[in-house]
A and B are shown apart, each in its own frame.
Chain A
Amino acid sequence: MKRALLLALLLPLAARAQLALYQMNGSTEVPIGAALNLGKVAAGDTVSVRIRVRNTGASTANIVGYSASGAGFSLDRPSLPFPIAPGSAQDALLNFRATTPATYSANLQVSTAASSVSTIAIATVVIGPELTVFPVCTGSDGPPASIDFGRVQTGQLRLCNFYLRNPSAQEMTIATFQVTGPGFQFSTGPKAPFKLAAGDTTAFVINFMSNTAGIFSGTLAIETRTYALTSTVFDAPLPKPLLEFDAGPVQSAQQRSLIMRLPTAASSSASGFVNLAFLPDSTLIPDDPAIVFLATGTRTLPFAITQGSTAIAINNQASATFQTGTSAGRIRFTVSGITTDGDPTTLLTVPAAAISLDTATATRRTGNLDIALIGFDNTYSAGGMTFTFLDGSGQTLPPGAIRADFTADFRTFFTKTQAGSTFQVRISFPVTGDTSGIGSVDVQLTNSAGSKQQHLVFQ
């Protein structure tokens, strides 16, 4: 009986010890004793502290009461009731705001059906200095109070001008007046501690600069108030790259060099891609697959720009070689992956031209005269041909010019192959009789851009 009574007396103590209150400092739990002092709070400011209730007992704590009773205090917490499992915790936000200078207090209490834990929260409202920020920077009273330095180009200085005013009727001592954070620093202004007479104002300037792009943050602490400082730093747009080509008129079936450079030195290093695309003149083809950068056989190459340099390395080389293909049209060079001060897109026009022959031969076979032609027609309009056979002395053999029209054949071939306009054609002329008297042939190939004449001697 005596033993049972002892256990019963101990129960409330055990229950009371089941809950523990902490103030969170980051992720660190700081036990709250009999009082929780929120310190000085500027009139009109809101201060918030995170409160943690931890269940240190072995059974679930069912929270039925959780309040902060006192003028200016409020609590952001889950709806009641809510359980806290053994060993677990529940966070809440204790807020305070008042406009009249005074000392304020509240009873912060957490309770279960069997027990409760409480503390006294205290805050002192004072008249704080008023801060005015001038454009281009912008400010917000928050919470949290913040000052945005805006978007700043790498390497450039951003100055923010401020006025600090004592709005009270008494002299004010500013003991805390400091800036923290990479790139942020006082440029001009008073050094703490300093005094501000009633209604007096002092000006100061904070500057910010960074040589690297990114989002930067810092703080400006003035007495009771801390302002978050922010700035977004971006790389300066590069001057418009110049896309240049090796000298000489552009024609089909060329291998040309592309050189990229900047008109002025780059303010920062950068990398991107140079791309080419082809816009054919002919409606017979959608593209010319031979128009590629030769280093990779593709239409995109990476490039790199080094800070302080005007040179641009394409695929780690000083230049990039590409083919102009065998189609009339425009090769369009574009740049991607970087921001430039202007559109560097460059068009290279491949003009329409008469049929070009790479190889042409004339041979005799028994019963046939063969003419083999290898070349290209960048207009995709080939077909008209004229053959004039000549004797050994260069005299035209009857019947003179023989005209043929292979337009449909070429059109079918080009449409089917989609391999540019290169072609290899063998034209056989059946003959009877002695062919030894046939010495040569004049071949005329016609397309929409003109005629190509070729004199071939029979082998």
Chain B
Amino acid sequence: MKITLLMICAACAWAQSRIEVPTLGAVVDSSGGLRPVQGVAGNFLLGPATVPGVLSAACSDQLCLAKTNSKILSPTGETDAPPGPALFSVQARDALVFFPETRMFARWHDDVLDPLDWPVESEVLSVHGGGADADIAVRRDANVWIVHPDGSVVDWIANTAGPVLLLGEGVLFATTDQVILRRSDASEVRFDLPGAESIAAMGPHYAAIRAGGATYALRTESGRESLLLLPMSLEAGGIP
């Protein structure tokens, strides 16, 4: 057996350690400020607004994108974009974007926006993925359908007309009284939460859910699902 050689001195490890405050993602407050969410589950801290005039935002574990009225902002720059909010699916350092006002799909990478000619009809609620097999949640006849960019139906979510957030490992959606995390294997975790108004990707393992004047953080990691409250900031006017 070939012996692994470890540089096994404490000093080496020490020299290469780095301690930071953990960041879980970001949310947009009601004044349009993009605010980092720090801490751990059950102990959230909202950082100060880093970017003003934000309409939408989403984060992966490597990247946060924010949409202002005319730009997509990233840590490395900004990109001209159609007006209004955006639906994001951020995967590592790329993103699939949908602009509801112009009904345009696009792929974002390296501060470049490439339009996609996807003829998806109906109201788009959420997007996920990036290629031809991307998932798109649409509202049709007061139901939610999941389709591919070519319009082919992938799935149907019963008992909801949204809001919906497509996740890599499933889908998160709201009914009248509950928020349901449905895994790809059809298993479900349900949380009692009446009146969910919106669901957004807060970070790689959290979704931000607005309901009844409060904003909740739902942890989506398998086996660690939990629904927690985010601290509202009066100064910032709360979180939309």
Contact = CB atoms under 8 A, between A and B. Distances in A.
For chain B, the bracket of interface size reads: 35 or more
B132 interface: no
Interface in A254-274: 254-255
B90 to A, nearest CB: 19
Nearest to A423: B19
Contacts of B186: none
Closest 6 CB pairs of A and B: A297-B231, A404-B10, A424-B22, A428-B16, A253-B42, A358-B40
Interface of B: 1-10, 12-14, 16-23, 38-46, 214, 228-234
27 contacts: A253-B40, A254-B42, A255-B229, A289-B45, A290-B44, A294-B232, A295-B214, A296-B232, A296-B233, A296-B234, A297-B233, A323-B231, A324-B42, A374-B22, A375-B40, A376-B43, A406-B19, A410-B19, A419-B38, A419-B45, A425-B20, A427-B13, A427-B16, A428-B13, A431-B5, A437-B1, A437-B4
A297 to B, nearest CB: 4
A409 B231 contact: no
A321 B3 contact: no
Interface residues of A, number: 56
A402 B10 contact: yes
Nearest to B16: A428
Contact of B4 (A252, A324, A428, A434): A434
Contacts of A403: 10
Contact of A431 (B4, B9, B40, B214): B4
Contacts, number: 144
Contact of A399 (B8, B18, B22): B8
Given A290-B44, A420-B45, A426 B18 contact: yes
Contacts of A381: none
Nearest to B205: A359
Contacts of B10: 402-405
B39 A290 contact: yes
A85 to B, nearest CB: 58
A356 B42 CA distance: 12
Contacts of A375: 40
Contact of A253 (B2, B41, B232): B41
Contact of A429 (B7, B22, B45, B232): B7
Q: Which of B39, B41, B233 has the most CB of A within 10 A?
A: B39
A420 B39 contact: yes
B43 A433 contact: no
Contact of A321 (B14, B16, B229): B229
A132 interface: no
Interface in A388-434: 389, 397-399, 402-406, 409-410, 413, 417, 419-420, 422-434
A399 B39 CA distance: 35
A294 B43 contact: no
A59 interface: no
A364 to B, nearest CB: 11
A406 B16 CA distance: 11
A362 interface: no
B27 to A, nearest CB: 12
Interface string A305-324: 00000000000000001011
Contact of B22 (A402, A423, A434, A437): A423
B190 to A, nearest CB: 19
Contacts of A105: none
Contacts of B233: 296-297
